[in-house]
Chains A and B, each alone.
Chain A
Amino acid sequence: MLDFSILTNNMDSYIEGFKITIYASLIALLCSFLLGTLIAVMRIAPFKPLNWLGTAYVEFIRNIPVLVIVFFTYLAGNFGGMTAGTIGLTVYTAAFIAEAIRAGIMSVPKGQMEAARSSGLSYGQAMRLIILPQAIKIVIPPLGNQFINLVKNSSLLAVVAGGDLMYQGDLINAKTFSPFDTYIIVGLFYLILTIPLSFGVGFLEKRLARSN
């Protein structure tokens, strides 16, 4: 059975790592959502060079392992481990969020845009007031997946000495020589974050479906 003395003896380390994981995930979540939305809008904008730029970003970033991106940000930039890790995560996740949002926007019937434009709204207004609010509902489930992945991917901070939960786990393991117990507790901490996130997404999905 699980040896909880590892948890109680190393509570401070676990909590410190947990805090950094939450902090890095929250910032990366917010920033990647904004960046991802921007790129999605670029990809469908009625201006070709913007399309190309958006497509290039998505295809380039999502086809590289996130570990490589994190390493690159860390070694090339003048950042500490946590900052570099968070930037790397943001850049990576934004590509996937952009794809999810683009798919959502594309699934709103074309007639909606045409109707909005012919009733006098500008492209930007139509996008903001008519298309995006509808697209968001469709996008919630895939977006939720991306956010859960983001929290789990934040464990990559460990390889650039980011001080997160996984990093603390590595150090505790080195001290206690019990990888099983150490990492199971790490896993439980991640569950504390990801399970509510899962249910939150499910709840939001139902709420928005009802308002339709």
Chain B
Amino acid sequence: MFKNKKTFKMAIVSSMAALMLAACGGGDSKESSKDVLAQIKDEKKIVFGVKHDTRLFGLKNPSTGEVEGFDIDLSKALAEEMFGSDVKPEYKEVTSKTRVGLLNNGKIDAVVATMTINEERKKEVDFTDVYFDAGQSLLVKKGSKIKGLEDLKKGTKVLAVKGSTSAVNIREKAPETQVLEYENYAEAFTALKSNKGDALTTDDAILYGMAEEDPSYELVGGTFTEEPYGIAVKKGNKELVDELNKALKSLKDSGKYDEIKSKWIKE
């Protein structure tokens, strides 16, 4: 009797714990589907999700505390183009892992964070036109045996970032290599520097930033994918996408886009 009672108690407690967890799942906040554009105008601010760890695109400058980069300057110009000085642009840090979640629960209005447009993501978010053309490449220590994709044989290790398309691509293009995935580019690059892998893979634009930071590393093998970056907004906000596209086009026409681009990216 005593034994039965105990097993019973145990079952109750564990199922309660499981239920509590499952109940949290109900918190999927998809109901707050208010129009994002209207909300931006209402609150007089637009919140951009940007990277804080990606040189040239979005990097927090430790001495000023400001986030700087192509993505930041471009989104600032876009906000000005769309709303004049009525709407204040604000920035929140995102990573490849968090950006879609933050967009869907309304913490940010648009993602300008080196995000590649692809079919899978189009099911989750709406993209604007391409704002930057990148391609995936490899970063290695100068003098490395790895000269390109074909050298990624069995026994080699490639470092990538969790949630990025490059991690998926490299598994397809070099199926024999082992892929290790890290939280962000800074960690992946640190891991490369301490010899945890033979090469680091992501978009060339980001790799150029790393090679600039530490010139003992270089890009090899050219680009082997096309990575068109787009601005992502919450699914179903066509008006906001149209506005962004219009602003992007006029920035390109006026030469402002090239000005921002050449400030950051020197190929």
Contact = CB atoms under 8 A, between A and B. Distances in A.
B65 interface: no
**Interface size band for B:** 20 to 34
Contacts of B168: 175
Given A180-B28, A181-B25, A184-B24, A161 B18 contact: no
B15 to A, nearest CB: 10
Interface in B167-185: 167-168, 180-183
Given A174-B163, A184-B25, A159 B182 contact: yes
A161 B17 contact: no
Contacts of B27: 180
A75 interface: yes
A174 B18 contact: no
Contacts, number: 68
B124 A191 contact: no
The interface residues of chain A, by DSSP majority, are classed as helix
A87 to B, nearest CB: 15
Given A1-B26, A170-B163, A188 B18 contact: yes
B162 A171 contact: yes
Contacts of B1: none
B207 to A, nearest CB: 19
B234 to A, nearest CB: 13
Nearest to A76: B194
Contacts of B101: 177, 179
Given A161-B180, A171-B162, A191 B17 contact: yes
A170 B181 contact: yes
B14 interface: yes
A199 interface: yes
Nearest to A174: B163
B25 A2 contact: yes
A81 interface: yes
A191 B21 contact: yes
10 contacts: A2-B25, A159-B187, A161-B180, A161-B191, A170-B163, A174-B96, A174-B164, A177-B124, A188-B21, A191-B21
Interface of B: 10, 13-14, 17-18, 21-22, 24-28, 96-97, 100-101, 124, 159, 162-164, 167-168, 180-183, 187, 190-191, 194-196
